[in-house]
Chain A
Amino acid sequence: AQKVTQAQTEISVVEKEDVTLDCVYETRDTTYYLFWYKQPPSGELVFLIRRNSFDEQNEISGRYSWNFQKSTSSFNFTITASQVVDSAVYFCALSEYDGANNLFFGTGTRLTVIP
């Protein structure tokens, strides 16, 4: 069965610090997709990134970077030089290759960036 674990419930950092949000997943499928979403205080989840199971290249987008390691079933998210606007709940999610487009979400990590 599929499962997504975000062991960090809450993290607080001081502005400009780097922070890594952990995501560990379980699936029996060999083809799957991993996602990160951000939920700011306004409530609306915002899509950040998608990665398929055959693409283990790390990705960097500005201050955001993602590290995908199939060997450890992890898809971690790092924010460099954090800013107050990064304060949000971050969700990792898994979609298996069954065409259903259903997302299995982790429980989320609440990040607070202190000015």
Chain B
Amino acid sequence: DVKVTQSSRYLVKRTGEKVFLECVQDMDHENMFWYRQDPGLGLRLIYFSYDVKMKEKGDIPEGYSVSREKKERFSLILESASTNQTSMYLCASSLGGYSSYNEQFFGPGTRLTVL
């Protein structure tokens, strides 16, 4: 079974702090994704990556950056956390190749609160 793990289930940070959210998958997937989930808005894509050291902006990249130094790990970085970044953050991975067919496998999520 594919397993996607996220470093924390719950995280509380202060405004202005630098925040790292880590995601690791164990199935050698090429694609990895970061979403945020907010009530009434569903899941919105922040960034995604097709390969090591590659990244692409999603729909709401402002205020975020990402890092993918190893295939299995995809990090989301909040350079200076703000209260409007309080949300649930979900990481996902999928098989690579040029295909829109593949389902994504999700981690359990990190609920981040910025005070």
Return chain A residues, CB-CB under 8 Å to B103. 35, 47, 50
Of B58, B88, B92, B98, the residue contacting A99 (CB under 8 A) is B98
Main secondary structure, interface of A, reads loop
Say yes or no: A32-B100 contact (C-beta < 8 A), given A44-B108, A45-B90. yes
CB <8 Å contact, A98 and B100: yes
Of B48, B100, B106, the residue contacting A96 (CB under 8 A) is B100
Of A42, A101, A105, the residue contacting B102 (CB under 8 A) is A101
Instruction: Tell me the residues in window 36-54 of chain A with beta carbons closer than 8 Å to chain B beta carbons.
Output: 37, 42-47, 50, 52
CB <8 Å contact, B104 and A43: no
CB <8 Å contact, A108 and B105: no
CB <8 Å contact, B100 and A44: no
Return chain A residues, CB-CB under 8 Å to B107. 44
Nearest-Cβ distance from residue A6 to partner chain B, whole angstroms = 8
